């Protein structure tokens, strides 16, 4: 059995329970997404001392004052992107790489930006060991987006922002969806922007609490 097979077998029961109690019961409907989340070994994306708690209904620390998002929030944000398999996706805030892996399973290519270099180095090793080959990493301030690779069919911002950076809206393709936690530092509203020709349609989902998006077009480094 190779690493990947072992990883998938471990905690299968807890993953099933997570899908039933945290996702299905709260109204997640995307079956392909739930199939993916029943496979991706979330316990490998946290420190070994936290593995027993990896499938709990909460975010967990991943070092550098950052957190891996709660499973339900990962599901809700991913579902909002309506991925069918052919999309090119931009993710801002790679963090543990758990959300990145879910996106890589559900789309054709993922471009992910993280500002903290040691986080990227660690996450890259893990995602490579799990054999994801459709992820491109960049260490940068994601509030600028990734202009060279734009437009993107879907954009996911994994950190709290006072407003959606303009560059990201510009880099969203026609008929594309962008999801982000928008609001203050203490709490935000998951917000979905859809681009329809020259029109932008905005819709709000549940409230949430993310670590801040720190960069030129979001929060300053210190406050």
Does 119 help bind ligand SAH (rule: CB under 6 A)?
yes
- Give me the least distance between CB of 62 and ligand SAH, in Å please: 6
Among 11, 98, 111, 152, interactor with ligand SAH by CB under 6 A: 98
CA distance linking residue 179 with residue 212, whole number of Å? 15
Both tokens assigned to 203: 């819709």
Q: Which is nearer to ligand SAH, 95 or 176 (CB)?
A: 95
4-11: Cβ within 8 A, 24+ apart: 4/129, 4/130, 4/131, 7/41, 7/44, 7/130, 8/39, 8/41, 10/41, 10/43, 11/41, 11/42, 11/43, 11/54, 11/55
**69 noted as active-site residue:** yes
Among 76, 109, 158, 188, interactor with ligand SAH by CB under 6 A: 158
Tell which positions 61-90 bind ligand SAH, by CB under 6 A.
Answer: 62, 66-69
- Give me the least distance between CB of 198 and ligand SAH, in Å please: 27
* 69 neighbors 20 (Cβ within 8 angstroms): no
Q: Which residues contribute to the site for ligand SAH (CB under 6 A)?
A: 62, 66-69, 92-93, 95-96, 98-99, 113-116, 119, 141-143, 158-159, 211, 213-215, 218
């Amino acid at each position: 059995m190779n690493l990947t097979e072992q990883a998938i077998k471990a905690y299968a029961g807890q993953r099933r329970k997570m899908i039933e109690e945290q996702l299905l019961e709260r109204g997640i409907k995307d079956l392909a997404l739930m199939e993916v989340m029943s496979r991706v070994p979330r316990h490998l994306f946290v420190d070994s001392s936290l593995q027993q708690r990896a499938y709990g209904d909460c975010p967990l620390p991943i070092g550098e004052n950052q957190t891996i998002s709660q499973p339900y929030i990962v599901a809700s944000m991913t579902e909002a992107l309506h991925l069918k398999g052919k999309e090119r996706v931009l993710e801002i805030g790679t963090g543990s790489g758990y959300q990145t892996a879910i996106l890589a399973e559900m789309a054709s290519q993922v471009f992910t930006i993280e500002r903290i270099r040691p986080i990227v180095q660690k996450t890259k090793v893990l995602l490579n060991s799990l054999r994801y080959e459709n992820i491109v990493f960049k260490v940068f301030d994601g509030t600028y987006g990734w202009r060279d690779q734009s437009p993107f069919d879907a954009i996911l911002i994994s950190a709290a922002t006072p407003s959606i950076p303009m560059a990201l809206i510009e880099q969203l393709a026609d008929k594309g969806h962008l999801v982000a936690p928008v609001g203050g530092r203490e709490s935000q509203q998951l917000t979905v922007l859809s681009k329809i020709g020259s029109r932008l349609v905005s819709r709000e989902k549940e409230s949430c609490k993310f670590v801040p998006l720190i960069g030129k077009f979001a929060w300053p480094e210190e406050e």
